[in-house]
Amino acid sequence: MTTLEPDQATALGLTGPGSAPADTIDGSMVNDPAVRPPLVLGDRDFHSVTETICGWIENKTPKWWPLAFMSSAGVAGIGTVMILYLIITGVGVWGLQNPVSWGWAIVNFVWWVGIGHAGTLISAILCLFKQQWRTSINRFAEAMTIFAVICAGMFPGIHVGRVWMAWMLFPIPNSNYIWPNFRSPLLWDVFAVGTYFTVSLLFWYMGMIPDIATLRDRAMLRRKQSVTFGPVWVPHPLPGFIKNMTFTIPANQIASWVYGVLALGWRFSFRHWNNYEKAYILLAGVCTPLVLSVHSVVSFDFAVSNVPGWHTTIFPPYFVAGAIFSGFAMVLTLLIPARSLYPGMKDFVTAKTIENMCKIITLTGSMVGFAYIMEFFIAWYGANEIESQTFMMRAFGPYWWAYWIMFTCNVLTPQVFWFRWCRTNIAFIFMISILVNIGMWFERFVIVTTLSSDFLPGSWGYFSPTFVDVMTFVGSLGIFLSLFLLFCRFLPMLAISEVKNVLPQAHAHLHGEEH
């Protein structure tokens, strides 16, 4: 990109070790709009980029990793037991009841889907807007998206009770002549979330193909050494049936095979890159409306019904803004620890990148806050008694505490990012990101518990979760974290080829030539 060239010298000057002026934090926080801040710090060349990012996978597993994985897998195991208990016993083990017939299951579903919006937003929308700072976080955010959508999809799946009938969500010919009701927003949801998951997964995988090929080639280069393992017990036809055997295989044999199969034989041919780049930008093009559509469709689950407090046209934009808001918060929650745990990651995920994300959080948080206020305004201005009563119940009714947690965490907290100190203090940002995650969970809770006071005061009730409700939700966090830790351990966390592409030396110096 030749547009980089005018301030290339400045950028290079800033990336040198120890050359960062004091007020630029790590050298990336340049506030002069005429100066393009460096995207990668530490005076890195292509080789050191490869070494650092591949090193996180190839080097010895860090000590904290098995500990973190074991504990999150344990939590995931508890969640799995809860799900099995639900399937064996029935949905009655949850706190669902009339009138709140959609309890935590839908709260968790919407929360996780919302979180799953950041990845494709970063990889698609920011790609179209040529926001190059996204290259250091897009792979990370996309992985988070995939795992969040897996957790989201789990909840409606088990909420149906008879999980073996879940195939009826899809239009499959059957001897009952029953087809799904295509006029229902719940079915739109199946298609929207299903498409979103499939496309995000393919987009993520396609982006990883070149990086996996790099890992494959590096594994091949290290195959000259050999490793011996054993003795292991092996079944054997001779008496005794089990024999102790020792194996010697080339080092990285398994890694090179696995990465080799996954890389699909990518050989970095530019003829391939040419089609690849076209496919990538086109996918970014279709994913942009897709991201916006998914949470709009999720909001239709509520907005298309005629329940007061749900039947509002503000829902789609308000849900989409909330989704981006919570997604960025979750990316920060994961990114900030990873950034300090993996050596060299701070050179790619710079303070400027984090600051940009904080700005997006403030923007989307304010949009969500506007929507909260606008809902009240319209409830009053629309002069519909039931509608205004519903909103009064939200803020001052039995769930007042949930409403005010939501309002504080989502609207007031992100406003701190107007101050530069808050946007650059990593520990502080981490805390705020957790608060935003909590706030967004409560937003979904507030919306769902609107059902607790429906049209008939005689059927009003108060929703309380059961132990199984709580542990299933906690278990979904465990599943999410386990998958994420596996990703960090075995797959390239940063898009290696994309990061190389934004280095200053990635551009041919063709002085005095137009092209």
Partner 1 sequence: MSAIFPRWTNSVPTILAVGSLGGAAIAAGSVWYWFTPSYWEVGYEPIQPVEYSHQTHVGKLGMDCRYCHTGVEESSEANIPATATCMNCHTGEGDVAMLNSDLWQAHKIDPNLLQVRTAFATGEPVQWRRVHKLPGYVQFNHAAHVRVGVSCYSCHGRVDQFAVVRQEKSLAMGWCLDCHRDPEPHLLENRDSMRDSAGFCEVTDLARAAELLSMAEQRERGKALANERNIFPPESCGACHN
Partner 2 sequence: MSEQSVQQQEPYGLMGEYSDVTSVYRAAEQFRDAGYTMWDVGCPFPIHNLDEAMGLKQSKVAWIMGTGAAVGVALALFMQMWTAGGGTLDIGWLSGYRVNVASKPLLAWEQFLPVTFELGVLISSFGAIFGMLMINRLPMWYHPLMKKERYLRVGDDKFFISIEAKDPKFNDAKTRQLLESTGAAHVEVVEA
Site for partner 2 in 211-230 (CB under 8 A): 213-214, 217-218, 220-221
Site for partner 2 contains 260 (CB under 8 A): yes
Which three-class secondary structure state does DSSP give residue 226?
strand
> Which residues in the 153-182 window bind partner 2 by CB under 8 A?
171, 177, 179-182
Query: And the tokens for 421?
Result: 């100190």
- Binding partner 2 by CB under 8 A: which of 271, 427, 456, 514? 271
Site mask, partner 2, residues 32-61, x = CB under 8 A? -------------xxx--x-----------
In whole angstroms, the minimum distance from the beta carbon of 297 to partner 2 comes to 6
Site for partner 2 contains 290 (CB under 8 A): yes
Quick one: what does residue 278 bind among partner 2, partner 1, none, with the CB cut-off 5 to 8 Å set by partner type? partner 2
The position carrying tokens 């002085």 is 511
Closer residue to partner 1, CB minimum distance, 220 or 422: 220
Closer residue to partner 1, CB minimum distance, 260 or 316: 260
Give the DSSP per-residue string, 162-215. Answer: -GGGGGGGS----TT-----TTSHHHHHHHHHHHHHHHHHHHHHHHHHHHHHHH
Site for partner 2 contains 184 (CB under 8 A): yes
Query: And the tokens for 338?
Result: 């990873």
**Identity of residue 276:** Y
Are 288 and 122 within 8 A, CB to CB? no
In whole angstroms, the minimum distance from the beta carbon of 162 to partner 1 comes to 13
Are 24 and 14 within 8 A, CB to CB? yes
Closer residue to partner 1, CB minimum distance, 263 or 330: 263
Alpha-carbon distance of 482 to 96, in angstroms, equals 28
Closer residue to partner 2, CB minimum distance, 50 or 450: 50
Closer residue to partner 1, CB minimum distance, 257 or 490: 257
Q: Please, what sign has the CA dihedral across residues 146, 148, 151, 154?
A: negative
Going by C-beta distance under 8 Å and a sequence separation of 6 or more, which residues neighbour residue 291? 117, 120, 121, 124, 125, 196, 320
**DSSP assignment letter at 504:** G
Quick one: what does residue 266 bind among partner 2, partner 1, none, with the CB cut-off 5 to 8 Å set by partner type? partner 2
Q: Total residues at the site for partner 2 (CB under 8 A)?
A: 72
- Residues forming the site for partner 1 (CB under 8 A): 173-178, 216, 220, 256-257, 260, 265
Which three-class secondary structure state does DSSP give residue 95?
coil
Quick one: what does residue 195 bind among partner 2, partner 1, none, with the CB cut-off 5 to 8 Å set by partner type? partner 2
In whole angstroms, the minimum distance from the beta carbon of 219 to partner 1 comes to 9
Alpha-carbon distance of 81 to 87, in angstroms, equals 10
CA atoms within 13 A on the CB side of 384: 15
